[in-house]
Amino acid sequence: MGRQIRFLLGDEERCLEGNAPSQTVLRYLRESERLTGTKEGCAEGDCGACTVVLGEPDGKGGMAYRAVNSCIQCMPGLHGRQLLAVEHVKGPDGGLHPVQRALVDHHGSQCGFCTPGFVMQLYAAWLTGEAKTRGALKDWLAGNLCRCTGYGPIVEAGLEALGEGGHGRGGEAETARRLAALDNGAMLRLSGRDAEGREQRFFAPRSLEELAVTYWGYPNAVLVAGATDVGLWITKEHRHLPVVIDITRVPELAQMKESETRLELGATVSLARAAERLFAIHEDLGELMRRFASVQIRNCGTVGGNVANASPIGDLPPAFIALGAELVLRRREETRRVELEDYFLDYGRQDRAAGEFVEKVVVKKLGPASRFGAYKLSKRFDQDISAVMGAFRVEVEGENITAARLAFGGMAATPKRAKAAEAALIGQPFAEATFRRAGQALCHDFSPIDDMRASARYRLLAAENLLMRFFLANAPTRQGGGVPLRLSELA
């Protein structure tokens, strides 16, 4: 078994043993390597000041790069990968890289605290060839907070630097070969002590069978994938995590399979990888994924993680419940299926036995009679937690509604269907009066709470209005006008 973390820091090999498995990449860079260009801002993956780039073999002889938040990524995740910090960004002559030069020329920095994060996020776009248009660039930078410069100069610098994009680093085939030599394919098994001297153990299984056996042996272990949630347990709550099992190196969990009627997403499929497949099901799912945290978070966060943690304000569960999704759970050699809506028992409680984990999510696609909508309400457009999330699927034959699934997040202790409102729709015509009656029935489905994001009264009113928005977006024509209604007109 592998007992060392072996990776490339820039182009230099590193081999670490005995480090605390919960040590973050940010702390390692700043405290061990003295590479202090990478900054700590929020320590929760929200501001982007700590952005670095991770590279790994793409399976085709080259390299795949992605931007991540180093403040919530732990060191074992570097094994077999390349870590690039702002100190590794250089031009071909050893001077400024085109991204850095553009930021200088367009006055894209004042205090400079956030600048390294912007450099690294733009550098990731340079490497991958993404974010070439103004709109795409704004989405790409949504996870980077500018505290004093203003985004205008930064966007202009990005447009200039990324106009041609997709340049890569050079020598990628050799880098991929070196990384392959650092990883022998064995299960990582690490041990160490955290900053408080508490012992920790870490496992990274390399197959579904290894994961099942390991989790059976350590049923109280914390399962971690992208660490976009668990990372905050470390940086904000300073929790002691005695045993951690990283599930991201199990290839079976990273698979996506598709048929005419369903989409199967392995538990560790990243939100970024899932986005295109979900958009193909419905454009609202694509828009939902565009507003899901940031590029850095979507590169790490997983479909299974967003579902398995059972957060009442997770964005994907309401959409998946409306689509009639199922979970495939595994415990040792046994698997079972459970309707996603039945997985959530209560706040912090799920229908998952000791040693049992989510293997995949099975999402049912829409049929010709289906009408679908998914809408997120939050105080900010980007990088914000939902106050209310609504997702709706109804089946229509002729003029009547034959089936309905209405699901909400932020309205109860778990993501939940609105059964009373559904009953008010079924058997009724697809008409405004029908949806108004269904909206009025929501008070029988939910008793939301007041909190910092919204009041209970607001949540009920917003949920009712989202249901009306769904009707308007799917109505055949505008009343009296006869002109098809476009979703963009409701934005």
Q: Which fold has domain 370-490?
A: Enolase-like; domain 1 (3.30.390)
Does position 487 have pLDDT exceeding 50, yes or no?
Answer: no
Q: Tell me the pLDDT tens digit for each residue of 392-441.
A: 999 999 999 999 999 999 999 999 999 999 999 999 999 999 999 999 99
What is the pLDDT at residue 479? 44
Domain spans, the chain: 1-184, 257-364, 370-490
Does the domain at residues 257-364 carry the CATH identifier 3.30.465.10? yes
Q: Tell me the pLDDT tens digit for each residue of 353-380.
A: 999 999 999 999 999 999 999 999 999 8
Q: Tell me the pLDDT tens digit for each residue of 92-130.
A: 888 999 999 999 999 999 999 999 999 999 999 999 999
Q: Which CATH class is domain 1-184?
A: alpha beta
Cα(302)–Cα(314) distance, integer angstroms: 12
The model's confidence at residue 453, banded by pLDDT at 50, 70 and 90, is confident
Mean pLDDT of 163-191: 89
Does position 490 have pLDDT exceeding 60, yes or no?
Answer: no
Q: Which positions ≥6 away from 338 have C-beta within 8 Å?
A: 326, 327, 329, 351
CB contact at 8 A, 64 and 273: no
Among 340, 360, 123, 161, which residue's Cα sits nearest to residue 253? Answer: 360
What is the pLDDT at residue 481? 38
Mean pLDDT of 47-72: 96
Q: Tell me the pLDDT tens digit for each residue of 264-281.
A: 999 999 999 999 999 999
Does position 482 have pLDDT exceeding 90, yes or no?
Answer: no
Mean pLDDT of 26-46: 95
Does position 491 have pLDDT exceeding 50, yes or no?
Answer: no
What is the pLDDT at residue 195? 80
What is the pLDDT at residue 451? 87
Neighbouring CB atoms inside 10 A of 178's CB total 15
The model's confidence at residue 477, banded by pLDDT at 50, 70 and 90, is low
Among 447, 452, 427, 451, which residue's Cα sits nearest to residue 437? Answer: 427
- pTM of the prediction? 0.91
Q: Which residues make beta-bridge pairs with 395?
A: 370, 403
C-alpha count within 13 angstroms, C-beta hemisphere, residue 450: 2
Mean pLDDT of 120-149: 93
Burial of 50 (C-beta count, 10 Å sphere; 0-12/13-18/19+): buried
What is the pLDDT at residue 1? 53
Length of the chain: 491
Share of the chain above pLDDT 90, in %: 83
Q: Which positions ≥6 away from 217 have C-beta within 8 Å?
A: none
The model's confidence at residue 196, banded by pLDDT at 50, 70 and 90, is confident
What is the pLDDT at residue 152? 95
Query: Which residue did the predictor score with more confidence, 92 or 205?
Result: 205
What is the pLDDT at residue 348? 81
Q: Which residues make beta-bridge pairs with 371?
A: 394
